[in-house]
Structure 1
Amino acid sequence: MKAISSRENPLYKELKLLASSSQARRKAGRTLLDGVHLCEAYLQHGRLPLFCIVSEGSAVHPEAAAIVQRCEVAKVPCIVLPESLFHPLSQVEHGVGLLFVVDTPHLAVPENLTRSAVLLDNLQDPGNLGSILRSAAAAGIEDVFCSKTTVFAWSPKVLRAGMGAHFLLNIFDNVDLQLLVGSAHVPILATSSHAEKRIYDLDLKRPVAWLFGHEGQGVSQELLDLASCRVSIPHLGGVESLNVAASAAVCFFEQVRQKTA
């Protein structure tokens, strides 16, 4: 492994930018996978990082050492950092000090929708986005389309919340959702707490595209007007609505229930 001990090292400066700036991540087309679980999941899906970064204290940790060894065998550059340099790069508290630098996919948006998908309009919370990605992957949905104003799907916080779901999905970034919805060949179902039709009243055995919006404002009016149907999730308690990630999970797994019934 190569050791870096200076904050002025060009690679370390690049790592600091990737760790702290979404704009830098988008510009570079790279991001950081933080922690053993994400790094191991990345390797398990047959992918190799650009760099493997480990802290001095974690270099002898059994799990981290095994991953570093796999990277070295695959000729991936491995870098060891002192704790004082590694700590500013990681957002995992009390975790094993391991990071991957990876390329972020740039996928061409299809001309139209022909299978089940998730459309996210102006979603802002990284935890919500990561949770939705994880639920979508578990439900067998492969395509996720994020609007230009949705939080960047490949940020470290979203990646941690997704728990490896990113590597099972086709995630399209900076998508014009109005154009996509307008050319869709599957029904567009927009969730709304004011809709009269319930998700349990729909035939979800066929492909559908689920449309979810901002945590507070919901789906924009322009997209609601283009949707095939507005649907609600009935609930008995005294709350006005569900968290968007919880709503998505309910919708996805009602579709799973109908498909597997």
Structure 2
Amino acid sequence: MDFIHSHQNPLFKQLHKLATLRRERLKSRQTLLDGPHLLASALDAGWSIERLVVTEAGFANPEIVALRARTPAPLNVLSDELYTALSELPSPSGVLAMVSIPEPKSVRQDGLCLLLDGVQDPGNVGAILRTAAAAGVQQVLLSPGCADIWSPKVLRAGMGAQFVLDLVERADLLAFADRFEGRIAATLLDGAVDLYAADLSGPLALVVGAEGSGVSDELAARAGLRLRIPMVTGIESLNVGAAAAICLYERVRQAGLGAAV
């Protein structure tokens, strides 16, 4: 176990790049998990932890001690000052874990898929991933303009969803739509049917669009099923995370509560 007190320490520099730079996460295929909850979720999902970093207080924290016992990963203790530079949380969680980002699986051509078309807000992306995991989505594909799913903010908002979902970042959504064997459904206004009157059974790819501009014209043109969520007069739209949750859980309802979707 090593104690680190210097900003010039090579490991600290590496950790700082992972915490702050998407390009470093892409290059190294690594990221940081901040806090006991994310660490526990990763361990519960069978992920291998490459390194643990704790504060001096975290080293003695019973919850963190129990988590440390679940992994043989090397351990480093950071000064509070250095730890604060790695964490965006207002109060230090006491533990950071370095993990490898898994390579994406092959793009599906059937099943229940969710397509994120330019969703940029980290909180929205994380919340959508959390809903997708709970609703039984079999693959989530994100266009190049989406927020980084392995960034600290999206990881926190996802609450462990990244460890159980099949995720494809920087996906070519148009090529996916052209090959998908089921229907493409999108949340749109023009020519849309009431969500609760739509048949969402069978292979389905649900598209939700960017916070401001919505689903791109090119992807909207490929949507054979346009969905409108009913709202009271005068309200134009919902938050993209709320819209995704409503649509996905209408699929769950139609499939039968607790049944495979």
- Quick one: distance in 1 between partners of 2:113 and 2:175? 15
Indicate the SS of the match to 1:106.
coil
Counterpart in 1 of 2:31?
A: 31
Corresponding residue number in structure 1 for 2:254: 258
Q: Please give the residue correspondences for 1:1-261 in structure 2 after superposition, counting only pairs within 5 Å.
A: 1-71=1-71, 74=72, 76-110=73-107, 112-236=108-232, 238-260=234-256
Greater alpha carbon shift after TM alignment, 233-242 vs 248-257: 233-242
How far apart, CA to CA, are the structure 1 residues paired with 2:252 and 2:78? 45
TM-score w.r.t. the length of structure 2 is: 0.95
Write the letter of the residue equivalent to 2:222.
L
- Sequence identity of aligned pairs in percent? 41
CA positional deviation for 1:108: 3.9
Q: Which amino acid aligns with 1:163?
A: M
Listed as ranges, the gaps of 5+ residues in structure 1 are none
Root-mean-square deviation over aligned CA pairs: 1.3
Change (3 A) 1:69 1:229: same
What is the rounded CA distance, in whole Å, between the counterparts of 1:79 and 1:148 in structure 2?
A: 35
Residue 95 (structure 1) shift = 4.3
For structure 2, the 5+ residue unaligned runs are: none
Counterpart-to-counterpart distance in 2, 1:137 and 1:70: 24
CA distance in 1, matches of 2:161, 2:52: 20
Tell me the SS of whatever aligns to 1:174: coil
CA contact (8 A) 1:53 1:98 kept: yes
Contact 1:142-1:168 at 8 Å conserved across structures: no
SS in structure 2 opposite 1:32? strand
Distance 2:103 2:148 in 1: 12
> How far apart, CA to CA, are the structure 2 residues paired with 1:64 and 1:93?
19
Cα distance in 2 between the residues matched to 1:125 and 1:86: 25
Normalised by the length of structure 1, the TM-score is 0.95
Relative to structure 1, is the Cα distance of residues 173 and 196 closer, same or farther in structure 2, using a 3 angstrom cutoff?
A: closer
Quote how far apart the aligned CAs of 1:69 are.
2.6
Deviation at 1:70, TM superposition (A): 2.3
- Could you tell me whether the CA contact under 8 Å between 1:109 and 1:175 is conserved in 2? no
Deviation at 1:116, TM superposition (A): 0.4
Give the stretch that moved more between structures: 126-135 or 99-108: 99-108
Which amino acid is the alignment partner of residue 193 of structure 1?
Answer: L
Q: Name the SS for the 2:168 alignment partner.
A: strand
In structure 1, how many angstroms separate the alpha carbons of the residues matched to 2:190 and 2:242?
A: 17
Amino acid at match of 2:101: T
Contact 1:30–1:104 (CA<8 Å) still a contact in 2? yes
Structure 2 distance, partners of 1:138, 1:193, is 27
Q: Secondary structure at the match of 1:119?
A: strand
